[in-house]
Structure 1
Amino acid sequence: MASTNTTAAQAAPAPASAPAAPPAHGANLHVATPAGVLIALGIVYGDIGTSPLYTLRAIFARGPIQEEVVLGSVSAIFWTLTLLTTVKYMLLALRADNNGEGGILSLYALLRRRPTKWLYIPAILGASALLADGIITPPISVASAIEGLQILKPDLNTVPIILAIITGLFVFQQFGTAIIGKLFGPVMLVFFSMLAVLGVVQLLHYPAVFKALNPYYAINLVVNVPGGFWLLGAIFLCSTGAEALYADLGHVGRGNIYFSWTFVKVCLILNYFGQAAWLMQHVGQKLAGQNLFYKLMPDWFLLPGIAICTLATIIASQALISGSFTLIIEALRLRFWPKVRISYPTELRGQAYVPSINWLLYVGCVGVVLYFRESGNMEAAFGLAVTLTMLMTTVLLAYYLYYKRVSVLWIGLLVVVYFTIEGSFLVANLRKFPEGGWLSILLASIMLSVMLIWIRGQRLRNELTEFKDLAEYLPMLKELSNDHSVPKYATHLVYLTKSDNPKCVENGVIYSIFMKRPKRADVYYFIHVETTDDPYTTTYTVQHIMPNELVRIDFRLGFRVDHAINIMFRQVVTDLVKNKEVDITSRYESLNKNEIVGDFQFILLNKTLPTRYLLRGLLSTVMNLYERLKHLGVSEQESFGLDNSNVSIENVPLVIPARPELQLVREEVPAK
């Protein structure tokens, strides 16, 4: 706390991540506006919108063009976009919003107070796979666009260009996208319009391809065409951005997504069918590594087309990186991820920057580019992880509908249909495991391991934490506060407590106050932070346990709100002073008569655990790994925004283990 008079006028503004809810929040969730639709085009559809650059090319990468495969593939693409994106995500998932927010972790937060305690497993599985997808999507998207230059110059090495674009993209993250973000919508509008026009031009030459709208051709491909089932691994690439679409609900609102998806889907379908029309005119030939998408462009339009595609893939990558930041922040607030540094480069709602994740993604993207070098090789690593995310979302959606008292028959139908569809895609993608699919599984496994270790480590520490009945120590605390023989430690002494029961406090706090250097203060504060299931809750309660001597403050913060405790605590104290509930002036006579505010001191406890005495085997390993992750992350001082406060960090034992009594025998010192 500052050492000047604290008044209501001096209360600090709300932290950057905790302003009022976004425009999509609450009553505006269903509203569609022209500006909102344009923003949705720039934020929501980058991943799924750039999939025409590589989906059909991946299907025909090896064998000759066959009519049954062309019709079956484009039919399967149409019905995948319809059943997965339109029905599951648009009509079902977008309705499972958590106070206006979407995404797998928001959905989990909506369900986590329910009796089913294991639901965190599908939540972290899906989140881990989505983070893995964030490492593979930028390289394959950018590479697919840039490789169009090889049509003009076949011997061009595109790797340096791809790396330069990706490097610039990640370096730019720390500055935010408030300025160029305004261009995202118009650029994507041009891109989708280009998709539609290119498709229509080809369809004019072969309109008969529209017969593939009949699902018979998709079923025939999977059931009757030799090897047709395994093509589902490539067909699935058309829907990889559907999960990101759900996660962006809070940024743009359901109404804007609904309205814009109609336009986007029409453009995608026209382009996919246009590519199929081109293929139908070249039956029997081989693509031989050529980029099918650019075959649709006339020569004079090739350079402008490549430029538009490159901008679109950069926007798609930017949206996915920002989505990864949001996912990590949600995981951190839900205590699924170690505490990491978060900054807010602009005032734009939801614009956060997580340096550790940014550079982790960057290293992963560079590794993918250098290992695979071409987008055609990256396709094998793409898609496998996302199928896991979709399956986990289906599990959580089923429970959401169950708690909404939807008929068990409808829920059973949902599970059967989508487990069949997504399970088939998963099995087909597993065939790509040796060719590169192992990478997405490896990346997802690393992310999952971090989450599991962090969750289990916290649970072990919570199980070992001892709580004391605060009532037993209140008389001692009052005596200490008024014992002038003990040097005053601070005028106002603040502890953070994990006890959600106001009548209890952890043993470490008692140990710090009484058993180490006695900490006499005029007023003690116990602060407890609870993360709520609603994304933007910012409320608090105050209990005067001992008037003007012990105050407990409970903050209830949503899982998307920054825990800037220093700022929030200052605002609460300002309100308490204004209401004359506490007196924060210094108790020293020379300062009190001049109404000087007393000093505020925060005590953060580093609870040490002698694992060798308490834990054995796997539990000891988990705890050791947990401690390593804790040291790799930011300190509690930084994570709670206490960098500019008077903070002391103390080591206290989490629990004092009982040790066996040693039978020591005293020996007499022999006389000389």
Structure 2
Amino acid sequence: MATTNDKHLPSLSAAGVLISLGIIYGDIGTSPIYTFRFIVGEHVITEELIFGGLSCVFWTLTLITTIKYVYFALNADNRGEGGIFALYALVRRYKAKWVIYPAIIGCATLISDGFITPAISVTSAIEGLRLLHPVSLNTIITIVIIILVALFLFQQFGSGVVGKTFGPVMLAWFLYIAIIGAIPLVQNLEVLKALNPVYAFNLLVKYPGGFWILGAVFLCTTGAEAMYSDLGHVGKANIRVSWIFVKVALLISYFGQGAWLLEHRGSTLNGKIPFFEIMPGGLLIFGIIIATFATIIASQALISGTFTLVNEAMKLKLWPATRVRYPSQVKGQIYVPAVNWILMVGCILVVLIFKETRRMEGAYGLAITFDMLMTSSLLVFYFAVSRKSTVRAIGMGLLFFSIEGAFLVSNLSKFSHGGWFTFMIASLFFLMMFILLRARRLRELHTEFVDLKHYVGMIQDLQSDNTVPKEATNLVYLAVADSKRYIDSNIIYSIFKKRPKRADIYWFLHVDTVDSPFTSKYSVDTIIPKKCFFIRMRLGFKTDHRVNLLFNKIIHEMADAGEIDLVSPYPSLHKYSMMGDFKFVIIHSWASSDSEISSFDRVIIQGYRLLKQHSLSTEELYGIEAANLEIEKVPIQVGPVAKVKIKREKD
């Protein structure tokens, strides 16, 4: 069963192609600044190295970027949306529990990449100043940190206005790198022999230590994930058309650098940067300026993408509740303050720890390789079970796992040279999401539900019992249960047993995050006409979950339909048509101290409590007014009741 529906995708247009240049290709588009510099490294420049490196770059951009992402991944859209969580939402319906782990590993590694990409991108551009004038390392570090701080401070104001210039700037960037690459290329067309994959094979197999150069080659495709994750913004047609232009510009730049390097056979780079060396002297200052703008755009795109990713993880309850703001009217633009400042501190630490791009390269690429492998595993599973194309899925698996597996092994050599940094960051984020996932499953496993029909009579009797003080005119419970038939036993406990809560109308409200990204629907089940209702909200993982506003809209629609009377029942207020009062009750469950649980589950529970202490409360997350809210805590058994012994003594 395919879920792709082209009507959800923006159509092909010149504006769409231009926008895609600005928001998708920043990372992969700035990779020519440093990729070939790292491929050559300290090696002596030889034909075998240059032809092999060029061949590896060409086939990586063809097999991974073009075939995997531009062709296969874009065909696995979730109602026009892409990215690791959109893909997870597509495949989780097939009841394969393991698919959650590639999703959270992919999320963790993508976010950890956000700590290194802005730092290495901006630093690589600013290092070009050394060709104009001797500049100290401390000066470069200072300039980079100033740019990064300004970039992150700017996030809270939104990028709507500046974002309109991203497309034209990146268009100018790709034209520029193609032109300066074409100059040395046309003077030495011999480098085009590198299109032959035999040169790549010989580099990896015959060149001394050639296999480990793959870690540097991989940098040419970092940022390819953005083509998939930003699918919903521009549509697959615009991405595919713009990629033709971008790929040609990138290859001309790479092959131009290769042609320049062949003119220096027998020597080493000795600190030179091929990307800047091929620029004519009169264009160098312009090249440095536009490279700086391009790397800032690349960083902006990654930061915005991280905000979107965290917001989706929150909706799927895989990230602690965090405050989200909407700084502009641009569709889909959000700002997550906590994530912004964490990323800023992380980027500054990267600059201070590694100082130069040649040292940052060791920290770059390892985490993203894991992300690409996770995307591949979900893509293969999707095409196998959804498209019922086992042969194609096996072919995809063999191709992508072998190539990306080789990249992973080669990148592992970077671990001690800086890869440990992003690996550590990714591990911390994975641990946090795993704790939330495991804690939620523990709660779901041990939350009891009772048949609501057994309590209808009791609810009616309680509503009629004037000896019980009225709690509120309308009493609203947030329910875990997603069916009108069964309700949380904790809610029944709260209404009848803890302290009887009488109300004129009872509301049981369940919020369900669904696989379709922009769904916003609700259903109403009447338990007792005009007296008791079960409301189920079905919200997509990309929609606003402003439950208080949504609930207010629902009750007014019900009032207009004559299903309820919103006017206060109190005579003094009724004659003025004042609206009745509402009270929300949120029940928090925690593991009972009477439970006997494993040491592992106890650690999970303690970790979950720590995360909850530093995250938004449920009422803040859903926008519920604190003035009319009651929080209740109810213990639940998350394991067998502890066995105790006590004996009565006789007098």
Match of residue 132 from structure 2: 152
**Counterpart residue number, 1:386:** 368
Matched, 1:275 2:265: no
Provide the residue aligned with 1:19 in structure 2: none
> d(CA) in 1 for partners of 2:373 and 2:590?
40
Q: Greater shift after overlay, 599-608 or 78-87? A: 599-608
Q: CA deviation at 1:516?
A: 2.7
- Aligned position for 1:36: 16
Which amino acid in the other structure matches residue 70 of structure 1? Answer: I
The alpha carbon displacement at 1:362 in A equals 1.3
1:298-326: per-residue Cα shift (whole Å, max 9, x none)?
A: 22222221110111101100100111111
Counterpart position of 2:101: 121
| Cα deviation code 1:432-477 (max 9, x no counterpart) | 1111111121111111111111100111111121222222222222
The alpha-carbon deviation at position 643 of structure 1 amounts to: 4.0
Q: Deviations over 1:116-169 (max 9, x none)?
A: 221111111112111111111000000000111122232322111111111111
* Partners of 1:602 and 1:645 within 8 A in 2: no
Distance 1:331 1:217 in 2: 43
Aligned length: 645
Check if 1:542 corresponds to 2:506. Answer: no
Please tell me whether the aligned partners of residues 134 and 324 of structure 1 are also in contact (alpha carbons under 8 angstroms): yes
Instruction: Give the AA of the match of 2:253.
Output: N
- Paired AA for residue 198 in structure 2: Y
Counterpart code for 2:360: M
Pair 1:52 & 2:36 matched:
no
Cα distance in 1 for partners of 2:628, 2:391 equals 59
CA contact (8 A) 2:8 2:80 kept: no
| Residues 659/388 of structure 1: CA separation in 2 closer, same or farther (3 Å cut) | closer
Name the Cα RMSD after superposition: 1.7
1:420 aligns with 2:402: yes
Q: Which moved more, 1:609-618 or 1:496-505?
A: 609-618
Task: For 1:527 and 1:309, locate their aligned partners in 2 and report how far apart those are by CA, in whole Å.
Answer: 52
Aligned to 1:96: 76
Q: 1:523-545, CA deviations, whole angstroms, 9 ceiling, x for partnerless residues?
A: 11000111111100111100110
Query: Could you say which residue in structure 1 is the equivalent of 2:583?
Result: 601
Q: Which runs of 5+ in 2 are unaligned?
A: none
Report the Cα distance in structure 1 between the residues aligned to 2:405 and 2:249, rounded to whole angstroms.
Answer: 28
- Cα separation, 1, equivalents of 2:619 and 2:186: 65
Gaps spanning 5+ residues in structure 1: where?
Answer: 1-23
CA contact (8 A) 1:136 1:365 kept: yes
The SS at the match of 2:267 is coil
Cα distance in 2 for residues equivalent to 1:435 and 1:594? 74
CA shift, 1:394, in A, is 1.1
CA distance in 1, matches of 2:490, 2:470: 20
| Structure 2 CA distance for aligned equivalents of residues 205 and 212 of structure 1 | 16
Among 225, 228, 238, the residue aligned to 2:207: 225
Contact 2:152 2:344 in 1 (8 A): yes
Check the 8 A contact 1:466/1:655 in 2, yes or no: no
Residue 256 of structure 1 corresponds to which residue in structure 2?
A: 238
Distance 1:439 1:543, change over 3 A: same
Q: Is the 8 A contact 2:55 2:197 kept in 1?
A: yes
Alpha-carbon offset, residue 30 of structure 1: 6.0
Q: How far off its partner does 1:664 sit? A: 6.7
- What is the distance in 2 between the residues matched to 1:152 and 1:207? 29
User: Which amino acid in 1 is paired with 2:285?
Assistant: L
Structure 1 pair 506–590 and aligned structure 2 pair: CA distance change class (3 A): same
On the 8 A contact 2:363/2:419 being kept in 1, the answer is yes
Q: Which residue of 2 aligns with 1:619?
A: 601
- Kindly state the Cα deviation for residue 26 of structure 1 after the two structures are TM-superposed: 4.8
Cα distance change, pair 293–622 in 1 and its aligned pair in 2 (3 A): same
Write out aligned runs for 1:39-438 (5 A): 39-156=19-136, 157-438=139-420
Amino acid at match of 1:189: L
Residue 654 (structure 1) aligned to one of 628, 636, 640: 636
Matched to 1:289, the amino acid is: G
Which fold has the larger relative contact order, with Cα–Cα distance below 8 Å and residues 6 or more apart in sequence? 1
- Could you tell me whether the CA contact under 8 Å between 2:324 and 2:336 is conserved in 1? yes
Decide whether the 8 Å contact of 1:508 with 1:653 is kept in 2.
no
- In the TM superposition, residue 652 of structure 1 has moved relative to its aligned partner by 2.2
In the aligned structure 2, how far is the partner of 1:346 from the partner of 1:243? Answer: 25
Q: Compared with structure 1, are the counterparts of its residues 425 and 523 closer, same or farther at alpha carbon in structure 2 (3 Å cutoff)?
A: same
- Secondary structure of 1:493's counterpart equals strand
Q: CA deviation at 1:407?
A: 3.5
Q: Distance in 2 between matches of 1:415 and 1:316?
A: 30
**1:566 correspondence with 2:548:** yes
Q: TM-score, normalised by structure 2?
A: 0.96
SS at match of 1:158: helix
2:511 matches 1:522: no
Identity score, percent: 48
Offset of 1:517 from its aligned partner? 3.0
Q: Would you say the 8 A contact 1:55–1:238 is kept in 2? A: yes
Distance 1:600 1:538 in 2: 23
Most deviating of 508-517 and 171-180: 508-517
TM-score by length of 1: 0.93
Following TM superposition, by how much is the alpha carbon of 1:658 offset from its aligned partner in structure 2, in angstroms? Answer: 4.6
Query: Are 2:537 and 1:555 aligned?
Result: yes
- 1:236-277 deviations in Å (ceiling 9; x for gaps): 000011112210101111111011111111100000000001
4+ residue stretches of structure 1 with deviation over 4 A? 655-662, 664-668
